[in-house]
Chain A
Amino acid sequence: MSTPATVALPADPFPRGRASRLAAVALVVYVIYACAQLEVSWARVETGLGNAIKFFDRLFPPNFSRWELLVKGLGESLQIAVLASTLGILLALPIGLAAARNLMPPWATWPARFIIVAARSFHPVIVAILFVKAVGFGALAGILALTMASIGFIGKLFTEAIEEISLKQVEAIRATGASFGSVLAFGVMPQVFSRFIGFATYQLDSNLRNSTMVGIVGAGGIGGTLFAAFQRFDYDFVCAILLSIITLIMIGEVLATGVRAIFIGNATLRDLFRRGRTLPRERHLEDD
């Protein structure tokens, strides 16, 4: 009589490393240690929740009486976001291309990669603090900070998109005797363009959100007004600002979806105003 359990397998079919188990244990230990270190306790969460309820109570009803200040701040935030996105995308295109290792020699990719990594290493707020120190309070510091963030983000994603293209298509264009610029126009751009539009609209969206924040450190936009209202305990005005920011972000989102639908899905303007047409149309299966 033989039981299945005693049948010796020739080898473990799913070998698991000891390293991954060790890593899981280490993570659990560290989480416990960090909680103890930072004095995270239930009692503090409880009193905090009480304060939060009081705070929410004072937020409502929102107070729009100082709407001029609100509109001015939002307008400045919008300007910061649009200018920073435009400038950032324009600069990120050549840098992202130069960093693509499948098209460019190492002497081009290394400096370009360095710029992208440098632009990505700090949060926009930290960069904004640096630029406020450099060029003074105001929107210029915010524009420069978000431009840098855009270069880092778009540059990195654009590089990755180029590195993933099919070189067969590029090879065919090269074989016709096309110059490098023409190879980019016909062999590379068509393959990355729709993804690029995706990054660009996402970056505009992200810059819009960040432009409402850089004001906290004095780099222009609605953030400064928000911070001042917080400090003066004008919570009803804070609520008005927050609601306005939400509205602005939502409008930006709708616009971004529209732009994507036009460029990626080949939708027309009229399609966008028809129901259920705002999403890019389905494409042929072998699209990617």
Chain B
Amino acid sequence: MLTLKHLSKSYVAGTPVLRDINLDIDAQGITAIIGASGTGKSTLIRCVNRLVDPTEGEILFEGADLARLSGRELRHARRHIGMVFQEYNLVERLTVMENLLSGRLGYVSAWRAWRRQFPPEDIRRAFELLDVVGLAGFAHQRADALSGGQRQRVGIARAVMQEPRLLLADEPTSSLDPKTSVEIMELLAEVARSRGIPVLINMHDVELARRFADRVIGMAGGRIAFDGPPSRLNDDTLKTIYGGTGWLH
């Protein structure tokens, strides 16, 4: 489904953040990327939909190399990749409904977007999805009137509105309290499973990764240091991912 080959990224020449990443993501399930801050997890995820341009390597998605695309081709590829952000990244001054429909912008002309003319089918799906994420009745609230957990539900709904064939999530629970974090992860897992969307997710929380992921990738120093099922995560593997032992107990 998604294959990364020899992917490298340096923001400053000579100090690579990602070093020669090779990765195959299956067509199903949740893949969690864990690792210490600054090991390039976020950069890796952002390379996939080219919010960050990789320095080298290939990003093969549905037969095309995303690393080579630009302009219209890149926009068309992005339509099939949904993204959920750590700080939700909702358009604060727009309503919940407008935020959901912004997931369809790849299919609507700019002229229609300015006039808020979306196909009735999109609008019907948006109302359905609001129900699914538990925000029925919130359609006309402004996004900045919502709580963190509610915002992230809108963020997930916006990504699902794209009918994505891959869902990226960049630390979707890091700004939330532990209880809301679990609820958001449950929603994300449920939405992805019921629609058969594979999810690539960055997380800080090892416990959440253990609980929700089908596969865990550990990153250290811009490389992949661990790749396996969550059951293989133990003190030894965590030590290779995060380094040191003092924090474990």
Contacts and interface: CB of A to CB of B under 8 A. Distances in A.
B75 interface: yes
Contacts of A186: 91, 94, 98, 102, 105, 113
Contacts of A171: 51, 85, 89
Interface stretch (A111-119, A172-180, A211-219, A247-255): A172-180
A176 B114 contact: no
A201 B95 CA distance: 25
B93 A168 contact: no
Contact of B111 (A166, A174, A181, A286): A181
Q: Looking at A181, A185, A193, A286, which has the most chain B CB atoms within 10 Å of its CB?
A: A185
Given A186-B113, A284-B142, A284-B144, A178 B106 contact: yes
B193 interface: no
Interface stretch (B12-20, B76-84, B211-219): B76-84
B93 A182 contact: no
Contacts of A191: 91-93
Nearest to A177: B106
Contact residues on B (Cβ < 8 Å of other chain), bracket: 35 or more
A284 B105 contact: no
A178 B144 contact: no
B91 A185 contact: no
Contact of A190 (B75, B87, B94, B108): B94
Interface residues of A, number: 27
Contacts, number: 98
A177 B79 contact: yes
Contacts of B87: 168
Contact of A176 (B92, B98, B106): B106
Contacts of B92: 166, 169, 190-191, 286-287
Contact of A181 (B77, B106, B113, B162): B113
A178 B91 contact: no
A155 interface: no
A182 B106 CA distance: 8
A221 interface: no
B106 A169 contact: no
A171 B111 CA distance: 20
A181 B110 contact: yes
A176 B89 contact: no
Given A181-B113, A287-B92, 11 more contacts: A171-B51, A171-B89, A175-B83, A177-B77, A178-B105, A179-B105, A179-B110, A183-B105, A186-B102, A186-B113, A287-B144
Q: Which 9 A-B pairs have the closest CB atoms?
A: A181-B110, A177-B106, A177-B79, A178-B105, A177-B78, A172-B89, A182-B113, A190-B93, A182-B105
Interface of B: 49, 51, 75-83, 85, 87, 89-94, 98, 102-106, 108-111, 113-114, 142, 144-145, 155, 158, 162
16 contacts: A169-B89, A169-B92, A172-B102, A175-B51, A176-B102, A176-B103, A176-B106, A177-B78, A178-B75, A182-B110, A190-B92, A190-B94, A284-B142, A286-B144, A287-B93, A287-B144
